[in-house]
A and B are shown apart, each in its own frame.
Chain A
Amino acid sequence: MQEDSIVVIERGTPAVNGWDVAELPFRLVTLPILIIGNGSKLAFGGKGYLIPNVTHLFGQIQARGVHPLIHRQGASSSIGGGLLLGVPPTREGPWAHVLGGATIKEYWLLGARLGYGSEYPEPRPRLGIRRGGPFTVQGYGFRAHRAQDKFYGPGRDSRNENRSDYDRDQYEAGAVVILRPLPNSELRFFARWTQDDIGAGDADDLPDVDSTFAASEIPGFGERWRYVSFGTTVGWRVGRLHTMQRHDRWLEASYTWNDSRSDGAADYGRLELSAGIELPFDRKRESLAFALRYVALRPSGEGAIPFYRLASLGGSHSLASYHTYRFADQESILGQAEYRYRVWSEVRDEFWLDGILFLYEGMVAESLSDEFRFERLKESYGFGLAFITPESEVARITFNWGDDGFLGRFSFLFGL
C-alpha cells in the first residue's frame, strides 16, 4: 500500500445523530403546519398565480366603477362584504355612487351619496376631521338594518347579565357642508332626517330588551320614532389618530339639536367635547397618548330620549374590556391613556405594528356633576397590537381586563 493513495479527507454527509432522533417527534407534531404551509405555497406557487390574479380581477372590476369593500356597520355588526358603484368621494369635483353591504350577523345597508369635493382620499380616520379640499358638499340617503344591537340597561349600575338585544331599522337622509377655512381646522354643518323602528333582536342566544327591561327603561322600543336634527361641529386637529407620525392632537366640539317628530320622543340637544394629544419620544419609536371625551344629552320638554341614542361607554374604542353600549345614560365621560411602541416596521415604512399598553377610565350618569366620584369610575386596562400606516390605524387587537373580566377584541377600520 502506497502512502500517496490517500488523497482526501472530508466530512461528507453526517450520519443520523442524537439530535435528529430527538427532533423526530417534534417534526411529526409540526407536520400539519408544514403541510398547510406548503399548501399555501402551492396556492401562491408557480408564478404566484393567486395573488396577481386576484389583484388583476379586482383591478378590472374597479376600472369599471365597481369597488369591492370589506363591510362593517359599526359596533356588534361583525364583518361582511360590500360594493360601491360609481365614483367614491376621493377626488375634487363631483362624485356620486350607490353603495351596499351586508355582514355575517345580518346587518345590511343600502344607500346613495352624491357630492362635490373630496372627503377622504385615504382610509378614514377613526375620529375627527377628515382630510380633503377647502370644502365638501354632499347629500345622502340610506336604509340600514341593525339586526342585533345590544342593551344592558340605563345608568352606571347596569349589569352584564342583563345583556339583551334589539333590532333597529334605520332610514336616514341628510346633507353635510364641510368647510376647511384654516389648515387643520374644520367647520361642519349638517341636517338630517331619521326614522328608527325598534323591535325584537335577531340573536338566538340573547333575550330581547323588552323581556329584560321595563318599558320605562327602554323608551322607543316597539315604536317608530322620527327626528330632524341640525348640528355643527368645530374641530382642530394636527396629525391623525394613532399613525406613524405620532403627532396627533385635537380639540373638537359638536352640538346637535334633535327635534322630535313623534309622540313620546323628547327633543334634546347633544353636546360632545373631546380632546387628545399624542407625545412621541425615542425617535418616534414610542409615544404616550391621552384623550378625554365628554358627552351630554339635555332633553327639552315632554317625552324621553330613545334608549338607543343615549351617551354610552364600552367597545373597542371606548372602555374596551366592556361590550359595546355596556353603560348608557344622559352623560358620559371617558379618559384614555396609552403607551404605544413600535414592535415592527415594514422596511419602507408603509406599515408599522405598534404594541399598546393602555388604561381607560370612564363612567356614565344621569348627571355627572351630581354623581361623579373617582371610585365610581369603571376601568379597563390591557395590552394589544395595532397595525398602523402613515395615514391611519388600520386594525387593532387588544386583550382587555375590567370588572366584567377578560375580553379579547379585534377591531379594524375598513368599511363604508
Chain B
Amino acid sequence: MRRALGSGPVARWGESRLSLAGPARIAGPLPKRLKPLAALLMATALAGCSSNRVVVRQGSSPAPEPRPLPDALAERDPSVLGDFLEHSVLRPGLHTFNLPFTLKRWVGYRTEAYNVTAEDDVSDRAWFVHRNARHRMSPEAVASGPMPGGAPDTSEALTIIRAKAVGITPGFTIRDRNGAVFQVKFDPPGYPEMSSAAEVISGRLFHAAGYHVPATYIVALDPLKLEVAPDVTYLDKLGREHPFTQQRVNELLGRVARLPDGRVRAVASRFLEGTNIGPFSFDGTRRDDPADTIPHQHRRELRGLYVMAAWLNHVDIRQHNTLDMVVEENGRRFVRHHLIDFGASLGSGSIQPNFPRDGVEHDVDLTDIFARILTANIYSTRWERYDGGVKYPSVGFYTSDLFDPGSWTADYPNPAFYERTARDGYWGAKLVGSFSEEQIRAAVAAGQLSDPAAAEYLTGEILKRQEMTLRYWFLRATPLEELAVAGGPDAPSLSFRDLAAAHGYVRAGERAYEVRFEFPAVHLKSRETARLRLDANGRGRLELPFPAGADREFWDELRRRPARKRIAKLEVKAIPGPGDPGARSVRIYLLPSRKTGYRIVGRAY
C-alpha cells in the first residue's frame, strides 16, 4: 500500500502506527454525555494557549467589506513628549505593578498576531504589499523606490513655500516648476551625506520589502535657484514669527556642506498622495476608519517590522515617523498607512551619528537602570564596553559588532514590537532574507555616497547584519517553505525547502525533525523523529500517512463532515543541532484530497 517516492530524500513513517487495519473508518461524534466535559477541557486549554486557536472559514462566507470611510477624518496630532513618556515611563511602570502580566512575559506567553492568513502571512494592502519576497525585483527597481512622479526638477528655480529655520539642520518645503511639492532636508554639520543617504537607502529597502513609504531622492540644489514664496514665515527659538527672506535662506545654507560646484546636497521627499490624517499609532486602532479593526500592536506587518527595523537600525521607529493618508483607488477610498522619515536609521541619528547605545538600549530603559542601581553597576549592557566609533562620517555609526537581532531596541518601546512573537520574527526575517547582495548594493548606490570605501563598508555591514538576522530567526522556527503535497492518496508526500539548511545555518546533509500527525476524523495519530537528507538548496520530502483502503464510501462519508472536522494537522519541529537554539514547530493543516492525497489549506510557523 505504501511506497517510497523515487525522487529526492524521503522520510518513512512507521507502518505499524499509521496504517489502518481493514477499510478506513471515519471516527464518530462524541457521545452527548461527554460533550460538557469536552467543552470544559477545551475552555481550559484555550485559557492557556489561546494563541493556537484555529478558525476555519468557508469560502462561501467571505469577510464582509468594511463600511465606507466617512467624508472627513480627524487629523491625529499626538504629542511627541506625551508619546515618549507613555511608552518609556508610564507603560513600563504599569507593567511592573501588573504581576500576571509580568509572569506571563517571564513564561514566554505571547498572543500571536490577529491578522495572519492561511499562509501565515498578511493580506491587507493598506498596510503592506508583498514586493520583493514574492516577486523578485530587479536591482534597478529596488534602487528606484516608489517613483510616483519622480525627483524634483532642479533645472529651474524651486520655490520655498514653508521653512524650518531653527534647530541643527534647516528644512524647507519646496515646489518645483511642475507643481510637485517636496520636503527637503540637509545633512548635519560635520557629517555630509550621512542622513540623506540613510533616508534614501532605508526607504528603498523598506519599500522593496513591502511597506508604503514616500519617494525620496538625493538632489543637488543650487542656492541661486531657490526662491522664497511671498508671506513665508518661520518661528525662532522663542516662538516669534519672522518673515523668511532670501537672506535667511543664505544664512541657513551657509551651515550646510557644499558640493565642489557650489551646490548643496539634500534629500527631497515627495509629498504623499491623498489627504494627510496624521500618524498611526503602534497600538490600538483608528476609530474613524471602519477598516481598522485589528489593534495595531497585534498586526503581523507591524510586529514583523521589528526585524526590518533592527536590520537597518531604524531606532526612531515611532508613531511620529508614520503617516496615514486617505487615498482613492479604483473608486474606493481608504486609509493607506506609511512609514516616513528614515533619517535616523543605519548609522545616522538625523542630527548626529548614532551612538553605540542606539539599538542596544532604549533611551530610558527602566529595567536596565534599576539593574545597574541594584547591582552597583555589576550589570551592564554590551554597548557600555564597546570601543568602536564612527569609521566614515558619511555612514555614521552602523556596525554589526553590537547587533543582536533578537534584542535590538528602538529608542523607546514600540508597542507592536513589544508584542512580537517568534513567528512574527520569522515573517520579518523572510522579508530581510528576500534581498540579494545585488539588490542591497543597488539600494546603497541610491544613497549616492561619494566615498566608495564608505559605500563598501556600509554594504558590508548591512550584509553582515542580514546574515545575523536570518541565522537568528531561521534557527528559532522550523523554516519550511515552498510546501507542496504530491503523490496521491496512495503515497502522499510533502516537499519543502528548509531555509535554515538552504542558508547553511545547519550542517549540510541530514536534518532531524520531530513530526506529529493528527487526523482526528480517522483516529490517525502519530509521533516520529524523521531524519531527512536535504539537498544543497535545503529541499527535502516527507512522506505523509494516509488511511489505508480509502474507498468511495470513505470519501462520501468524509465529505458529509463539516470542514473543520476534515482537517488533518501535521506538526514539524526542527531538532536543533549542538549549540543551536530550540526551534518552534510549523503546523501545516491538510485537507484530504482524492487527487493528491492532501491539500495544504493553512500553516502556522
- Interface of A with B (CB < 8 Å)? 1, 3-15, 17-19, 21-23, 26-27, 29-30, 33-34, 37, 40-41, 44-48, 51-52, 55-56, 59-60, 62-63, 282-283, 285-286, 339, 341-349, 353, 355, 357, 385
- Could you tell me which residues of chain B, from 38 to 54, have a CB within 8 Å of some CB in chain A? 46-48, 50-54
Q: A6-B56, A285-B380 are in contact. Are A11 and B373 (CB under 8 A)?
A: no
| B79-87, B153-161, B201-209, B304-312 - interface stretch | B79-87
A/B pair count, beta carbons within 8 Å: 188
Tell whether, in the assembled complex, residue A17 and residue B357 are in contact, meaning their CB atoms are under 8 Å apart: no
Tell whether, in the assembled complex, residue A14 and residue B47 are in contact, meaning their CB atoms are under 8 Å apart: no
Partner of B385, one of A56, A283, A344: A283
Tell whether, in the assembled complex, residue A19 and residue B372 are in contact, meaning their CB atoms are under 8 Å apart: no
18 residue pairs bridging A and B, Cβ less than 8 Å apart: A1-B563, A3-B566, A3-B599, A6-B563, A9-B55, A9-B56, A12-B114, A14-B51, A19-B100, A23-B104, A26-B100, A30-B94, A33-B94, A41-B79, A45-B79, A45-B82, A60-B239, A285-B380
- Given A37-B86, A41-B79, 19 more A-B residue pairs with CB atoms under 8 Å apart are A3-B593, A6-B57, A6-B566, A9-B54, A10-B116, A10-B602, A11-B55, A14-B51, A17-B50, A26-B98, A40-B85, A56-B238, A59-B238, A286-B377, A341-B372, A341-B377, A342-B372, A355-B377, A385-B373
**Which B residue's beta carbon lies closest to that of A46?**
B77
Q: Does B112 contact A (CB under 8 A)?
A: yes
List chain B residues, Cβ under 8 A from A385: 373
- In the complex, what's the smallest C-beta–C-beta distance from B489 to chain A, in angstroms? 13
Q: Does B237 contact A (CB under 8 A)?
A: yes
Q: Does B111 contact A (CB under 8 A)?
A: yes
Tell whether, in the assembled complex, residue B238 and residue A355 are in contact, meaning their CB atoms are under 8 Å apart: no
List chain B residues, Cβ under 8 A from A344: 364-365, 368-369, 372
Tell whether, in the assembled complex, residue A40 and residue B377 are in contact, meaning their CB atoms are under 8 Å apart: no
Q: Does B180 contact A (CB under 8 A)?
A: no
Q: Give Cα A27–Cα B560 distance, bound, in whole angstroms.
A: 47
Q: Give Cα A65–Cα B237 distance, bound, in whole angstroms.
A: 16
Partner of B82, one of A4, A8, A44: A44
**Which A residue's beta carbon lies closest to that of B358?**
A347
**Which B residue's beta carbon lies closest to that of A16?**
B50
User: Would you give the 0/1 interface string for B577-605, flagging 1 where the beta carbon is closer than 8 Å to chain A?
Assistant: 00000000000010111000001011010
Tell whether, in the assembled complex, residue B117 and residue A8 are in contact, meaning their CB atoms are under 8 Å apart: yes
Tell whether, in the assembled complex, residue A51 and residue B55 are in contact, meaning their CB atoms are under 8 Å apart: no
Q: Give Cα A183–Cα B53 distance, bound, in whole angstroms.
A: 73
Partner of A48, one of B81, B352, B372, B377: B81
- In the complex, what's the smallest C-beta–C-beta distance from A119 to chain B, in angstroms? 24
Q: A8-B118, A285-B380 are in contact. Are A44 and B59 (CB under 8 A)?
A: no
Partner of B77, one of A12, A37, A47, A342: A47
Interface pairs A-B: 4 shortest CB-CB = A9-B602, A18-B47, A59-B238, A56-B239
- In the complex, what's the smallest C-beta–C-beta distance from B595 to chain A, in angstroms? 10
Q: Does B190 contact A (CB under 8 A)?
A: no
Tell whether, in the assembled complex, residue A15 and residue B46 are in contact, meaning their CB atoms are under 8 Å apart: yes
Q: A1-B560, A6-B601 are in contact. Are A30 and B85 (CB under 8 A)?
A: no
Q: Which has the most chain B C-beta neighbours within 10 Å: A3, A342, A353?
A: A3
Q: Give Cα A264–Cα B541 distance, bound, in whole angstroms.
A: 106
User: Would you give the 0/1 interface string for B324-362, flagging 1 where the beta carbon is closer than 8 Å to chain A?
Assistant: 000000000000000000000000010010010110000
- In the complex, what's the smallest C-beta–C-beta distance from B96 to chain A, in angstroms? 9
Q: Give Cα A22–Cα B54 distance, bound, in whole angstroms.
A: 24
Tell whether, in the assembled complex, residue B56 and residue A23 are in contact, meaning their CB atoms are under 8 Å apart: no
Partner of B352, one of A19, A21, A30, A348: A348
List chain B residues, Cβ under 8 A from A341: 372, 376-377
Tell whether, in the assembled complex, residue B116 and residue A41 are in contact, meaning their CB atoms are under 8 Å apart: no
Q: Give Cα A22–Cα B103 distance, bound, in whole angstroms.
A: 11
List chain B residues, Cβ under 8 A from A17: 46-48, 50
- In the complex, what's the smallest C-beta–C-beta distance from B1 to chain A, in angstroms? 23
